[in-house]
Amino acid sequence: MSETNGNNLISLDKLQVYYKVGGGLFTASKTVKAVDGVSLDIRKGETLGLVGESGCGKSTLGKAILRLTEPTGGNVFYNGKDLAHLSNSAMREQRKHLQMIFQDPYASLNPRMNVGQIVGEPIRTFGLANGKEVSERVGDLMETVGLSRRFIKRYPHEFSGGQRQRIGIARALAVDPEFIVADEPISALDVSIQAQIMNLMERLQAEKGLTYLFISHDLRAVRHLSDRVAVMYLGKIVELAPGKDIYADPLMPYTRALISAVPIPDPEIEAKRERIILKGDVPSPINPPSGCPFHTRCPFAIEECRQIVPQLVEIKPNHTAACIRISAEHPDIEANEAAGLGAIGN
């Protein structure tokens, strides 16, 4: 993989974000593999949902794409340019095409700036308008996200959480981006407001042709918004498929467990549904387990799972998973042929 091609807007090739921690005069530092060799394509105009437990590397991956966190290895291709290796000045020119909606609407807005200054700042920074044109553009953006232009002189503390997130979305839209990383954009909001923000994001995508990376631990929200879903565990992508497929037929035991935890608003179906309870905590990224990173918690793990690192391979059309027990059902999959293992549950 050398550049974005075809219908792909963003292409990640073995992206890594490693941190050195600890270490001293007589002790060696250790490496935290927050993002561990992720290869992933994000198609133009789609919403790719990224799910996983807290601490799995979702937010770090999103920030590494935008170079808000510096990658330590691999490539991030956008329009033929490798963002991971651009100079700071060259990357600055790309930032107007790549924006972010942050998780916490209370912490992501400068309390000393009014709305006009907050939303207008990127417009001025990139020289997209001057003088009264900036105010007009800010007013238009406010109305686009469902707020009155009369609020331009108000400060963040005068707004509710949902209104603040709308302001954050307006700020992201100010430079007409093509790609937006939405990092847990609804997790800090009331349930009634979450639906409004998701509907707003869908409308803006349809109107402006936006591409989203939608990061969340809320699988209901991901199901509603996403065209495809990627599941992340301990810094790696372990399953990737169209949204309807991954919810109807999850392949990875980890994905099955995540989906089984989502309540269904039908008492009869909910009562009959099988729940998969994962034991233990996510292993430390400082000292990950050998073999499959999930084997320490997997209810179907066998001895080979402790030894073989599963590859992310296509199990069904457009549906990839990293599990030697699943891929052993398909002898044409070379990456795990040697395992010779039975199907999950056997």
Between 323 and 266, the higher pLDDT residue: 323
Q: 175-192 pLDDT, tens per residue?
A: 999 999 999 999 888 888
pLDDT score of 1 more than 70: no
Please give the average per-residue pLDDT across 131-141, as a whole number. Answer: 93
> Which pLDDT belongs to residue 130?
87
Measured torsion, CA atoms of residues 117, 122, 128, 130, in degrees rounded to the nearest 10? 20
What was the pLDDT predicted at 3? 52
Q: Is the pTM of this model over 0.85?
A: yes
Residue 341 reports pLDDT greater than 70: no
- Residue 183 DSSP label: E
Interaxial angle between packed helices 132-144 and 161-173, expressed in degrees from 0 to 180 and rounded to the nearest 10: 130
Mean pLDDT to the nearest integer, 314-326:
92
Cβ atoms of residues 75 and 9 within 8 Å:
no
Whether the per-residue pLDDT at 276 is higher than 80: the answer is no
The pLDDT, as a whole number, for residue 269 is 63
With beta carbons less than 8 A apart as the criterion, state whether 153 and 114 touch.
yes
Proportion of the chain above pLDDT 70, given as a percent:
89
Fold of 8-246: Rossmann fold (3.40.50)
What pLDDT sits at residue 5? 57
Percentage of the chain with pLDDT > 90? Answer: 67
By C-alpha distance, which of 244, 254, 239 is closest to 298? 254
Q: How many residues does the chain have?
A: 346
* pLDDT reported for residue 334: 43
Say if residue 255's pLDDT is above 70. Answer: yes
Whose structure tokens read 């990950």?
288
| Spatial separation of the C-alpha atoms in residues 91 and 84, rounded to whole Å | 9
Residue 339's pLDDT is what? 36
- Alpha helices, DSSP H only, in the chain? 58-65, 88-94, 115-125, 132-144, 161-173, 191-208, 219-225, 243-248, 253-260, 267-272, 324-327
How many Cβ atoms from other residues are within 10 Å of residue 156's Cβ? 21
Rounded CA separation 343/334 (Å): 16
Q: For the chain, give every domain's residue range.
A: 8-246, 255-339
| pLDDT tens digit sequence for 107-127 | 899 999 999 999 999 999 999
The answer on pLDDT for 71 being more than 70 is yes
